[in-house]
Chains A and B, each alone.
Chain A
């Protein structure tokens, strides 16, 4: 019962309007709007995560560690990601997603990938949002979904630099293909390699937290 009530407390916390949250945390978060945490996962064909990582950036100057996601939100990250999978699958099979979502900038949708020989159409952009957190997605040709939650300044909507995020996804896609070339790796299995993990983190530092 105790657990249940703490969970309910969690839900109520989240439903607190964001401006109130901002008031609570203003003093602890370094004011640097371009630095935000992300939670990244690769989801397999059976909706099983095969890789997850949280990227935070570290501010060395003032000796203060940029917080990742707030502790009580951290547990929700996986739920948030999985909730957005429906939308991602929807977008995967739509012929002209741009018209429906009113998004310019991206040419054609994932289905148009067969006509181009680059991975531009794999990037689906911002697919969902959750109380100020943005969720972007990218589908590989084999049906693996790369999804990421972008945490942001708690009092405002998260801005996403599409180009940077797209480049990040494309490079992780290449790393994933290299993992597939390993004869000992079976498809849809978790990726255990520490080399893969460190490379993804290096890419995140390069593209996402600058």
Chain B
């Protein structure tokens, strides 16, 4: 099934959409708002960081199921044939359009159904230093894992998404892992081959 070759690469589509087709918002406003959310959640849950992580994940999930419609309306890209294509689309188009960053895709599993995204600059966690009790348990950017899970579920890919390491916790880099559980074949809209 050879679709007509895309005249622009995914990277070019991502860059072009980011530069010319999306309205922007002040990055510091975004960072500070997210920081306020996380610190307020920590206070509300009485420093029970496991609950904070779960809540951030569910917030991200709700964002993801809606954000994917925005992404599809904006780019109208065809369905990805395999996880390799999916990973490229996530890193070159999706992250670029919404956060202006291009994480690196690494650490493929042997069956090519799991990969890691290395986030070298994370706009959510600018200026943040975790307090000592949070450092062991809190995944500060956990909303991102929720967003990815929700978005992928809406395009019929059931995935597990979780953080492996985080610079804020003292690790050398920030790594987000995505693993495909199954393709939800019976939910694929009828009419697509």
Contacts and interface: CB of A to CB of B under 8 A. Distances in A.
A and B touch in the complex (CB under 8 A): yes
A79 to B, nearest CB: 31
A195 B36 CA distance: 22
A181 interface: yes
Contacts of A181: 31-32, 35, 126-127
A178 B127 contact: yes
Interface residues of B, number: 14
Interface in A168-210: 178, 181-185, 192-193, 195
Given A178-B127, A195-B129, A183 B134 contact: no
Nearest to B39: A183
Nearest to A193: B129
A184 B127 contact: no
B32 A184 contact: no
A8 B128 CA distance: 47
B130 interface: yes
A183 to B, nearest CB: 3
Contacts of B39: 183-184
B38 interface: yes
Nearest to B38: A183
Nearest to B40: A183
B131 A183 contact: no
A195 B42 CA distance: 23
Contacts of B127: 178, 181-182
Number of chain A interface residues as a range: under 10
B38 to A, nearest CB: 6
A183 B30 CA distance: 12
Interface string B65-76: 000000000000
A9 to B, nearest CB: 41
B171 to A, nearest CB: 16
Nearest to B28: A181
B22 to A, nearest CB: 25
Q: Which of A182, A184, A192 has the most CB of B within 10 A?
A: A184
Nearest to A178: B127
Q: Which of B38, B39, B127, B131 has the most CB of A within 10 A?
A: B127
Nearest to A186: B39
Nearest to B128: A182
A114 B127 CA distance: 27
A155 B104 CA distance: 63
A135 B40 CA distance: 39
Contacts of A178: 127
Interface of A: 178, 181-185, 192-193, 195
Q: Which 8 A-B pairs have the closest CB atoms?
A: A183-B35, A181-B127, A183-B39, A184-B131, A182-B129, A184-B39, A182-B127, A193-B129
Interface of B: 31-32, 35-36, 38-39, 42, 126-131, 134
8 contacts: A181-B31, A181-B32, A183-B32, A183-B35, A183-B39, A184-B35, A184-B129, A195-B129
Given A181-B31, A184-B128, A193-B129, 7 more contacts: A181-B35, A182-B129, A183-B39, A184-B130, A184-B131, A184-B134, A195-B129
